[in-house]
Structure 1
Amino acid sequence: MYHCVVGETFACIRKKVSTSLTAAKFVNLTVAFFDEDGVLVQAGKKGVYGKEAIKQELQEFDKLAGKRKMTKIISDTYQMTQDYVIITTDYESTTEKMGVLKGKATQIWKKSNNKYLIYHEMFSIA
C-alpha cells in the first residue's frame, strides 16, 4: 500500500480513494487507509470509532453482502484545504448476496505525519 504525501496532486488522492473503495473486499487493506482516530458512519444507522471497530463493522457487512465482485466509482468531487481532502463519491458495488448496491460516500482525509488517512467516512446504500 502507498500513501499520498503532502504536496502531491489530486491524481494520487483520487487513486487512493478508488483503491480504498475497490479494496473493500479486503478488510485489512481497507482499514489500513483509516487514521487511528478514524470514524465510519452508515448514515441514519450507526457509527463506529477506531480501526478495530471499523474492521469489525466491515467484517459484519461482508457477512451480510457476501463477496464483493466489483466496485466502480460513478462520479466524484474533491475539495482540498491545507490539512484535509474532502471527497464525495457515488459508487456501485456488485455483491454475492445482495446484488448491485448503489451508494454515496463522503470521506475526509486528514494530513497526519506528512501523509493522508481517512479521518471520517460517512456512507449510505440505496
Structure 2
Amino acid sequence: MSLSNEQAESILAPLMKQYLEALNTSDWKAVENFYHVNAVMIEKGKSCMFGNQAIVDSFKGMGAEFGKYEVQISNSRYEGVGDFVNIHTDFSFVTEKQGVLSGKFVQIWQNEGGKYAILHDQFEL
C-alpha cells in the first residue's frame, strides 16, 4: 500500500524533530534508539558503516572534529510505501570549528512492531 506524501510526512516529520533534537543535544542513547540494529549509514562514494552503535560512535567522533554542532534540515520531501517511509532533504551542519557544512541525505525508516527506525541513512556533503 502506497502512502500519500502527506501521510508519510505526518508519520515521519514528528520523528525527525525528535531525532534532530537528540543529535543536537548529544543524547546518544536516544540517537541509537532511532537507528535499527541493522542500520547502515553511507557517505555516498566514500564509506559505509553497519549497525546502530557504529553510527552513534561516528556522530560522537564528529564532535571532536567539528566541536559543537547543530544539524538543520530544509526542503524536505516525504514518501512512503508499506512499512517504509523516507525523507529526502537538504541539511546543514553548523559547526564550531569548521563553519557551515551543507549537503543532502536520504533516510529510509522501517516500521517494525509498531516502531519506526532508520534502516538506511545515505548522505553527501
> Taking structure 1 as the reference length, what is the TM-score of the superposition?
0.83
Please state how far the C-alpha of 1:22 moved relative to its aligned partner.
4.3
Q: For 1:1-126, what aligned pairs fall within 5 Å after superposition?
A: 10-25=9-24, 26=26, 27-68=28-69, 70-125=70-125
Asked whether the equivalents of residues 103 and 124 of structure 1 are also in contact (C-alpha less than 8 Å), the reply is yes
Structure 1 residue identity aligned to 2:77 = T
Please state how far the C-alpha of 1:89 moved relative to its aligned partner.
0.7
Q: Secondary structure of the equivalent of 2:97? A: coil
Q: Point out the structure with the larger helix share.
A: 2
Percent identity over the alignment is: 29
Deviations 1:21-68 (A, max 9, x none): 343231332222001111111112111111121122112222111111
RMSD: 1.7
Distance in 2 (CA, whole Å) between partners of 1:63 and 1:16 is 26
Distance in 2 (CA, whole Å) between partners of 1:15 and 1:104 is 19
Q: What is the aligned residue count?
A: 117
Unaligned runs of 5+ in 1: 1-7
Change in 2 beyond 3 A, CA 1:9/1:123: closer
Distance in 2 (CA, whole Å) between partners of 1:81 and 1:114 is 15
User: Runs of at least 4 residues of structure 1 off by over 4 A?
Assistant: none
**Which residue of structure 2 aligns with residue 3 of structure 1?**
none
Please state how far the C-alpha of 1:109 moved relative to its aligned partner.
0.2
> Taking structure 2 as the reference length, what is the TM-score of the superposition?
0.83
